[in-house]
A and B are shown apart, each in its own frame.
Chain A
Amino acid sequence: MTQPIIALHHVTKRYGDATILKNIDLTLESGKFYTLLGPSGCGKTTILRTIAGFTDATTGDVLFAGKRINDVPANKRNVNTVFQDYALFPHLTVAENVAFGLTLKKTPKKEISTRVANALKLVQLADYGDREISALSGGQQQRIAIARAIVMQPKVLLLDEPLSALDAKLRREMQYELRDLQQRLGITFLFVTHDQEEALAMSDEIFVMNQGEVLQSGTPVDIYDEPINHFVADFIGESNILPGKMLDDFQVAFGGRQFECADAGIPANEAVEIVIRPEDLTLTEPANAKLVVTIDTQLFRGDYYEIAATDDLGNDWLIHSVNPAEDGQSVGITFRPQDLHVMRFGEKEAEFDARLETYEGEEDESSDET
């Protein structure tokens, strides 16, 4: 493994009695796109500010390329930030904004103008150098903020919810552009967002946070398919979460019946929670069904129907189906063993990963058909 570019070791941040960050450990490798994902107030922006140097950790170390940088002021750190409200200087033109950092370093004028021109070209606003900031739209300001940061050629770019002020369509466009930009520049991006869709679409790796803790980290697919607990399952995507009981390895009971699943290493008779994603549920004839539910209501979402249903025990089910159903109708639902994901209560990420290790091989065989 190569030297991580940024590492936080046991970082805790307190304001008076309030603990904002609880013993955070995370490592960022060079050249990857990372996302800190969590609800507002979970501490994700505080992590960003700690790395940028706008706030300091109460305890713990912040490492940059292996060196402790806790005491290095923000202006001496080789990271740059794209701020949530962009923070473009209103008294300077677009080109002056982008050149700001370079002029401070006394870079030769000629080099400044070529680098500024390149940065503006990179964010597709090559002809906007002479404009006033107030004459730009939100999307353009956002790009200028990125240009102003990347012109400094930082090792790490920190992005603090940079897309939150944009409308939905522009946000989707910018997701592609940011991902593309990161891959072209090859620098590490650390992106902060509360939008799980953004996180899943862009990241190489996601850190899911809540209440000052990193609950789970992993690739978007890992986190989506194997959430560690109720919070993560609920926060990332839509899900059916049901109480159940582990009977044996690969056998779980819920909804009054026993099912085959893809999880193991949990003591028999332990109370667990089962996650099934709505798109993994298939409507079928009650005769061949694993469970029978009654349709309550449905919404047409364009590419699918979102169906709300209830089973005999009163559990609510959310089903995504290409075909419509009829309200009040009893239908069967079916799913494959690997669509079930079993979560233990209070399991930490390290324990979860260790347990997965013990049966990973077997699972891979059984999920070949997916």
Chain B
Amino acid sequence: MRAVTKRRTWLYFIPYGLWLALFVVAPVALIIYQSFFDLGHHFTLGNYSTYFQSATYLKMTLNSVWYAFLITLFTGLISYPTAYFLHQLKHRQFWLLLVILPTWINILLKAYAFIGIFSQAGLANQFLTFIGIGPQQILFTNASFIFVATYIQIPFMILPIYNSIDDLNPAFVNASRDLGASNWQTFRRVIFPLTLPGVKAGVQAVFIPSLSLFMLTRLIGGNKVITLGTAIEEHFLTTMNWGMGSTIGVILIVAMIIVMTLTGDKKPKGGAPR
């Protein structure tokens, strides 16, 4: 009886196991494997030494991290107040749906829409002309890249923050007020620390994909910002240097692991339960 149940449970694992093996373990293994081969298919550590000795690659990495940081920062600054505000609303599920809605549209379509809006004759410039500033170069600037990237990432930050605010027991807020805390003190000392897990989840959901953004850098940023994502694309599709591309891929994976560790939940300190 028990053996049968055990086998059944094991069967349920098959779809997930297959998915894990085919789409997670195998690609990562392939990337790591490829990163040890040069253009002539010889085993080498050269890709890594090139990466760490090349000022271009290191600068590109720094660039990626910096822009991902900026995108995450702006996304967070917009998302937290938005999530907090949405949670106070009466028909919050409806408003939340409106926030999520844009994620159903393909990122490329949204990028092209912004090209239209930001172009020389686009809506944004028409408005600037109307108020007397005159047309400006908006498209292909770093600012427009950060703007569009932030726009695209906002729903992924709002959702986890909204959920953590939703999970917050209102008794904590009352308790804080009861002990003499003003609204701001309650927010800083109780609400924010207790919803921090949502912020961390949001940072993970935004920072990591932002590290490897590449279509936006070209379409909106005009390739002025070269991120690691762009580098990988170039190596695989243009220079055909799969080894170097894989090496940068490995670097990205390591960066993700670092971010996950930094934003992960800390082990509880203090005494064990009695």
Contacts and interface: CB of A to CB of B under 8 A. Distances in A.
Nearest to A101: B179
Size class of A's contact patch? 20 to 34
B168 to A, nearest CB: 11
B267 to A, nearest CB: 11
A105 to B, nearest CB: 6
Contact of A135 (B169, B180, B193, B271): B271
A132 B269 contact: yes
A100 interface: yes
A283 B154 CA distance: 78
Contacts of A136: 273
A126 to B, nearest CB: 14
B180 A134 contact: no
Interface in A40-99: 52-54, 73-76, 79-81, 83-85, 87-91, 93
B180 A104 contact: yes
Given A104-B181, A135-B271, A135-B273, A89 B194 contact: yes
Contacts of A80: 178-179
Q: Which 7 A-B pairs have the closest CB atoms?
A: A101-B179, A87-B171, A87-B175, A132-B270, A74-B177, A135-B273, A91-B193
Contacts of B185: 104
Interface in B248-274: 268-274
A152 interface: yes
A101 B174 contact: no
A136 B182 CA distance: 28
Contact of B171 (A83, A100, A132, A148): A83
Given A80-B178, A104-B181, 18 more contacts: A52-B178, A54-B178, A73-B177, A74-B177, A81-B175, A84-B171, A89-B175, A91-B193, A130-B270, A131-B270, A134-B268, A135-B270, A135-B272, A135-B273, A137-B274, A149-B178, A152-B179, A152-B180
A100 B194 contact: no
A137 B271 CA distance: 13
Contacts of A85: 169, 171
19 contacts: A54-B178, A73-B177, A74-B174, A74-B177, A81-B178, A83-B174, A83-B175, A87-B175, A89-B172, A89-B194, A91-B193, A93-B270, A100-B179, A104-B181, A131-B270, A134-B273, A135-B268, A135-B270, A137-B273
A186 B116 CA distance: 73
B176 interface: yes
B176 to A, nearest CB: 7
Size band of the B side of the interface? 20 to 34
A87 B169 contact: yes
Interface of B: 169, 171-172, 174-182, 185, 189-190, 193-194, 268-274
A73 B272 CA distance: 38
Contacts of A132: 268-271
Contacts of B180: 75-76, 101, 104-105, 152
A250 B15 CA distance: 84
Contacts of A88: 175
B9 to A, nearest CB: 30
A247 B270 CA distance: 72
Nearest to B269: A132
Interface string A237-271: 00000000000000000000000000000000000
Contacts of B181: 75, 100-101, 104
Contacts of B171: 83-85, 87
Contact of B179 (A73, A93, A134, A148): A148
Contacts of A134: 268, 273
Nearest to A77: B178
Contact of B190 (A52, A75, A89, A137): A89
Nearest to B171: A87
B125 to A, nearest CB: 48
Contacts of A105: 180
Contacts of B189: 100, 104
Contacts of A73: 177
B59 to A, nearest CB: 39
Contacts of B172: 87, 89
Given A134-B273, A135-B270, A75 B175 contact: no
Interface string A119-157: 000000000001110111100000000001100100000
Contacts of B269: 132
Contacts of A131: 270-271
Contact of B177 (A75, A84, A137): A75
Nearest to A90: B194
A69 to B, nearest CB: 14
Contacts of B174: 52, 54, 74, 81, 83, 87
